[in-house]
């Protein structure tokens, strides 16, 4: 596993403007060797598009009313995506399932920063890259039916043009996680069991590692990124931004699995693993929805769900690398914001009564548990 | 006017943890020469605390029902703040008015980055700084009554301990801006006229410059900061974050005035100017509220307001340097999030009908106008 040192560089990735399409193409890959059916790029795109169909189909059946609206878009030089949104259905207030394929160029400065090169003498050319992903957030109406997020993605670099022999880099990332407003222990156990079963098919260390990674990830990002910032002007026309930590000390939900930068296993094995994870979304989620979608609820319970939706928005907009990677690589702002709920609420300094069901949820977000 | 080159450095500013207070202290300044009544620090704190009282008083009277809840907090080594929130009133769904005073230390690395120093040989000590500000966001219930934001702040550095003779730096920043869901041209003209009148007392160039700065600021920040990000792993355990632009090409509202890094005028004059601006908030805003707070409205109009509130959340959480400077320097997360509305809504790819009142508002956000 890689270390997770993050080098932040403000730089522009070169990606063309997207154009709407009236039909879904067979592939968003470029018409060169990317399209070879044996390539990982080709098979990953096929996998995420099949997963999109399967998930959307299952959601429409379970919803029993809402239908997905589809937007297809592409870029002249290759790449594109399919955004699907079901809004104001019978069961879900908003359900988005997007796939995207992106070809881009890493700027040389970014490349140097990544390499940790200290000198400006090295001038490598731009690094072409390929990224593909599926990303989804499903927000039900009933406060007892949980929100689900999943995202699986594959990333590859090409050799720079001025160094054609350089090896390609590749990695897989993704995860599936559950965010209820109320805890039904059976539901959470079922959800985590399905994740564990998918993981155990490949490596017994995967579930414990990726479960913890999920807990840590949705915590760390608040601590390290939702920082409060001060401005400092040195009097020379330079504005300095800096930060100091401002924690919520809270996870977004009850976790699941999360992994990133995964490239230290066999590539075929990881492709199969990502496929298994994507195929586990429906068996992990729909049985919970079926049990909870029609439970009666009070105004108080609905208001608590709305407050938790507000927290979800906070997490997603302030720092959402994992959540919206697939959406963001698409670059369509409406696709990015599809992860937001239809409605949300913020009350100043809201604190649930100690011992209440609302407090139990918050406690489980603050102190993540082993569910299975 | 300074150039606005922004140097971003991820670094920790040293600020102590805040503690709740049961009473408002006379001053949050340290008990040394900061407390001299002639100092700008002292007079700026006095000004923002008086402005907080005046604004909260006027809001409570106009609301005719809601009362502000107050939280006072301080830090052992000096500094603190007063957060006031009125929630679910008769006129406002959420109104927050916060003041804060902060003493902190800029880390030497941040200082070097600000100075643009290339070498690591220079090792200046930490730079002590002082910041004080008032920050407020007022969200009414009626969709015809606009949201108001204002923020005025003062910043000073001390000389580093290892360079006691170095000159202090200081600057003023702030602004007042209006975000309606529907345009009443009379209201917008009145609002901008009051801003212009305040500006004209000091310099005839202020209003046109700061009006444009406000339009540019609430636009640029989307373009330059709400960028979509890609991740690149160089295979050596380094994760590179980079961005490509993802514009809304839209301003948050109908503008007002905004200025930042202002230090190239007489310091006394700028203190008077900031005071005049803060004192203009109520005359600019309350007459509009009185005219609009009881207008009848439809569900459709309320839903449009909720969508605009969603956009407001998007702006504030993704990039909110101006909005929440005063809140953020406080470091209390609940104070930071007081700028969010009580409720908001996001619909996928919502587009108002061309020529409708909703479309006119959006058009004015996309193409800022000269209102007076």
CA B154 to chain centre: 12
Tokens representing B244?
A: 């490509």
Q: B205: helix, coil or strand?
A: coil
Nearest CA in chain A to B12: A244
**A interface mutation test: which of B259, B346, B351 has the most A CBs within 10 A?**
B346
d(CA A75, CA A90): 35
Question: What tokens does B344 get?
Answer: 């908001």
What is the rounded distance in angstroms from the CA atom of residue A32 to the CA atom of residue A174? 27
Q: Which residues on chain B are in Cβ contact (under 8 Å) with A246?
A: 328, 331, 333, 336
How far is the alpha carbon of B100 from chain A, nearest alpha carbon, in Å? 13
Angle at B148 between CA B98 and CA A316, to 5 degrees: 75
**C-alpha B237: how far from its chain's center?**
38
- Mean pLDDT in order along chain A per 10 residues (372 residues): 34 61 91 76 96 98 96 86 94 94 69 44 68 93 97 85 74 95 98 98 97 82 35 30 48 92 94 98 98 98 96 76 42 71 91 95 92 94
Tokens of B190: 């009145």
CA distance A98 to A92: 16
Give B12-40 pLDDT, tens digit per residue: 444 566 788 999 999 999 877 666 788 99
DSSP states along A28-45: -S-SSGGG-TTSHHHHHH
User: What is the token pair recorded at A211?
Assistant: 């479960």
Residues 165-194 of B with CB under 8 A from A: 169, 171, 173
Which residues of B are designated catalytic? 149
Angstroms from B26 CA to nearest CA on chain A: 25
pLDDT of residue A360: 96
* Closest chain A CA to residue B342: A346
Residue with tokens 């209006």: B178
pLDDT of residue A1: 32
The helix-helix angle for B267-279 and B40-63 (nearest 10°) equals 10
The sheet carrying A238-244 orders its strands as A228-233, A238-244, B5-12
Q: Choose among B4, B114, B318: nearest Cβ to A232.
A: B114
Spatial contact of A83 and A70, defined as CB atoms under 8 Å apart: yes
Instruction: Per-residue pLDDT tens, chain B, 372 aa: give them.
Output: 333 333 333 334 445 667 889 999 999 998 776 667 889 999 999 999 999 999 999 999 999 999 999 999 888 878 889 999 999 999 999 999 999 898 877 655 544 444 444 444 445 667 788 889 998 999 999 999 999 999 999 989 877 667 776 677 899 999 999 999 999 999 999 999 999 999 999 999 999 999 999 988 876 444 333 333 333 332 232 233 333 334 567 888 999 999 988 999 999 999 999 999 999 999 999 999 999 999 999 999 999 999 999 999 887 776 555 443 433 444 566 666 788 899 999 998 888 999 999 999 999 998 999 999
Q: How far apart are CA B95 and CA A192, in angstroms?
A: 41
Interface of A with B in 78-97 (CB under 8 A): 85, 87, 94, 96
Structural contact between residues B344 and B310, judged by C-beta atoms closer than 8 angstroms: yes
**Mutation site, A94, A111, A242, interface B, largest B CB count within 10 A:** A242
Q: Would the CB atoms of A2 and B237 count as touching at under 8 Å? A: yes
CB contact, 8 Å: A340 with chain B? yes
- N-term to C-term CA, chain A: 24
Rounded to the nearest 5°, which phi and psi values hold at B250?
Answer: -150, 140
Q: What phi and psi, each to the nearest 5 degrees, are found at residue A174?
A: 150, -170
Pull the structure tokens for residue A271.
């492709």
- Separation between Cα atoms, residue A33 and residue A36, nearest integer Å: 5
Is there a contact between A329 and B110 if contact means CB atoms under 8 Å apart? no
Which one of B174, B241, B242 would you mutate to disrupt binding with A, by most A Cβ within 10 Å of its Cβ? Answer: B242
Report the DSSP pairing between strands A127-140 and A92-106. Answer: antiparallel
Give residues with Cβ within 8 angstroms of A268, minimum separation 6. none
The secondary structure element, H or E, covering residue A98 is strand A92-106
B239 → closest Cβ in A6, A11, A331 = A6
Chain A positions touching B9 (Cβ under 8 A) are 240-242
Number of other CB atoms surrounding residue B351 within 10 Å: 10
The span from the first CA to the last CA of chain B, in angstroms, equals 24
Give the other-Cβ count within 10 Å of A125's Cβ. Answer: 15
For chain A, say whether B66 makes contact (Cβ under 8 Å).
Answer: no
CB contact under 8 A, B69 and A239: no
What is the C-alpha separation between B281 and B195, in angstroms, rounded? 9
CA A302 → CA A50, A309, A345, B247, distances in Å?
A: 34, 10, 11, 34
Give chain A positions within 8 Å (CB) of B303: none
A-B interface: how many C-beta pairs under 8 angstroms? 259
CATH superfamily of A19-204+257-295+321-344: Coproporphyrinogen III oxidase, aerobic (3.40.1500.10)
CB-CB under 8 Å, A331 with B337: no
What number does CATH give the domain B19-213+253-366?
3.40.1500.10
Q: Estimate the share of chain A in helix, then strand, then coil, as percent rounded to the nearest 5.
A: 35, 25, 35
| Contact in structure between A55 and A136 (CB atoms under 8 Å) | yes
Chain B stretch 131-160, residues whose beta carbon is closer than 8 A to a beta carbon of chain A: 131, 155, 157
Contact B210, B218 (CB under 8 A): no
Q: Is B26 on the interface with A (CB under 8 A)?
A: no
How far apart CA B79 and CA B15 sit, in angstroms, is: 10
Buried b (16+ CB within 10 A) or exposed e, B188-212: bebbbebbbebbeebeeebbebbbe
Mutant choice from A104, A153, A344 vs B, greatest count of B C-beta within 10 A: A344
Which of B9, B106, B232 lies nearest to residue A110, judging by beta carbons?
B232
- pLDDT for the residue A35: 61
A306/B228 Cβ within 8 A: no
- CA–CA separation, A95 vs B13, rounded Å? 40
Task: Find, in chain B, the residue whose alpha carbon is nearest to that of A71.
Answer: B349
Give the single-character DSSP code of A14.
Answer: B
Closest CA–CA distance from residue A20 to any residue of chain B (Å): 14
Number of Cα atoms under 13 Å in the Cβ half of residue A179: 31
Closest CA to B240 of A15, A244, A9: A9
What are the pLDDT digits (tens) for A19-45?
A: 889 999 999 998 776 667 889 999 999
How many Å lie between the alpha carbon of B236 and the closest alpha carbon of chain A?
A: 7
CA distance B61 to B286: 10
Q: Minimal Cα distance from B235: which residue of A?
A: A169
């Amino acid at each position: 596993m890689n270390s997770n040192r993050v080098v932040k560089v403000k730089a522009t990735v070169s990606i063309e403007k997207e154009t709407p399409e009236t039909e879904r193409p067979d592939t968003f890959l470029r018409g060169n060797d990317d399209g070879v059916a044996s390539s990982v790029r080709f098979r990953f795109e096929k996998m995420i598009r099949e997963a999109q169909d399967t998930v959307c189909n299952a959601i429409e059946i379970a919803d029993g009313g809402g239908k997905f609206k589809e937007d297809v878009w592409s870029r002249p030089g290759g790449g594109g995506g399919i955004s699907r949104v079901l809004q104001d259905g019978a069961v879900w207030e908003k359900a988005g399932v997007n796939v995207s394929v992106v070809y881009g160029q890493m700027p040389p400065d970014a490349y140097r920063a990544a390499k940790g090169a200290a000198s400006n003498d090295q001038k490598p050319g731009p690094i072409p890259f390929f990224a593909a992903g599926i990303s989804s957030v499903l927000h039900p109406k009933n406060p007892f039916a949980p929100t689900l997020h999943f995202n699986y993605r594959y990333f590859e670099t090409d050799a720079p043009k001025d160094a054609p022999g350089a090896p390609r880099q590749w990695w897989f990332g993704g995860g599936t996680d559950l965010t209820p407003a109320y805890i039904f222990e059976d539901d959470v156990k079922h959800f985590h069991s399905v994740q564990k079963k998918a993981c155990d098919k490949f490596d017994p260390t995967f579930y414990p590692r990726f479960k913890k990674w999920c807990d840590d990830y949705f915590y760390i990002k608040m601590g390290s990124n939702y920082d409060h910032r001060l401005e400092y002007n040195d009097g020379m026309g330079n504005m300095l931004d800096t930060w100091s930590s401002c924690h919520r000390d809270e996870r977004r939900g009850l976790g699941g699995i999360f992994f990133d930068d995964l490239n230290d296993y066999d590539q075929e094995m990881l492709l199969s693993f990502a496929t298994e994870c994507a195929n586990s979304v429906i068996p992990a989620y729909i049985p919970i929805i079926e049990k909870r979608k029609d439970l009666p609820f009070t105004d108080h319970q609905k208001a608590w769900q709305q407050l938790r939706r507000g927290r979800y928005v906070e997490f997603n907009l302030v720092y959402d690398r994992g959540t919206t990677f697939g959406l963001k690589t698409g670059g369509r702002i409406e696709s990015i914001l599809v992860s937001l709920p239809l409605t949300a609420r913020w009350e100043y300094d809201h604190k649930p009564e100690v011992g209440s069901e609302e407090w139990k949820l918050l406690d489980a977000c603050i102190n993540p548990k082993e569910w299975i």
